[in-house]
């Protein structure tokens, strides 16, 4: 995917996270799916050597913050992934997506 297409994908994913779906707020499951796919792509790019150390540090910090908040939310929901995602989880997921979108791989 070209950098422009990557940016557009990340922007659309961010808008989906912010807006939620038409049937209600985004669930923990939806948030996880919105972050997991770009993270898989990112990890593949790291393995291929297409990501600088500085970019890796930014993404890793954003992802670790998101993952801790996500895990806390899952625990608070008693592992109900269909529960609405808390605002902090949505915000941190958006930070991960934005950090990934800034990488021109």
The whole-angstrom separation of Cα 20 and Cα 23 is 8
> For the whole model, what pTM was predicted?
0.78
Residues 6+ apart with CB under 8 A from 37: none
Number of domains in the chain: 1
Higher pLDDT residue, 45 or 21? 45
At residue 21, the pLDDT reads 47
pLDDT in tens, 22-81: 568 999 999 999 999 999 999 999 999 999 999 999 999 999 999 999 999 999 999 999
Stretch 8-24: mean pLDDT: 57
E-only strand ranges, the chain = none
> Structure tokens of 29?
């499951």
Range of the structural domain that residue 54 is part of: 3-101
């Amino acid at each position: 995917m070209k950098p422009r297409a990557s940016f557009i994908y990340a922007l659309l994913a961010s808008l989906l996270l912010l807006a939620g779906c038409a049937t209600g707020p985004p669930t923990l499951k939806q948030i996880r799916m919105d972050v997991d796919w770009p993270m898989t792509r990112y990890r593949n790019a790291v393995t291929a050597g297409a990501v600088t150390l500085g970019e890796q540090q930014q993404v890793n910090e954003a992802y670790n913050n998101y993952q801790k908040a996500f895990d806390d939310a899952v625990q608070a929901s008693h592992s109900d992934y269909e529960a609405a995602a808390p605002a902090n989880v949505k915000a941190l997921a958006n930070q991960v997506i934005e950090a990934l979108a800034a990488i021109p791989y």
